[in-house]
Amino acid sequence: MSLPPALHKQFTATVGAWIIGSMTSTGLLGISTLQSWIYYSRFPRDPPILKALVRIK
């Protein structure tokens, strides 16, 4: 059972947008995680409240 041509075209466009969005989101999460890790390793003596604010982001 296959999809009708119009529905198949719409489905592939939606999947493409989903893949691009997922890849972008994953990349931004990686950048954010790296920035947090760098902060914690460079400033270990910062007050706990400041560290909590970075963790919440």
For the stretch 23-57, pLDDT in tens is 999 999 999 999 999 999 999 999 999 999 988 87
Q: What is the pTM of this model?
A: 0.71
Distance of CA 18 to the CA centre of its chain: 13
Please state, in angstroms and rounded to a whole number, the distance separating the CA atoms of residues 5 and 45.
Answer: 61
Please state, in angstroms and rounded to a whole number, the distance separating the CA atoms of residues 7 and 57.
Answer: 40
- In this structure, which long-range contacts are made by residues 31-36, counting pairs with CB atoms below 8 Å and at least 24 apart in sequence? 32/57
- Residue 43's pLDDT is what? 96
Q: Is 20 helix (H, G, I), strand (E, B) or coil?
A: helix
* Residue spans per domain, the chain: 5-56
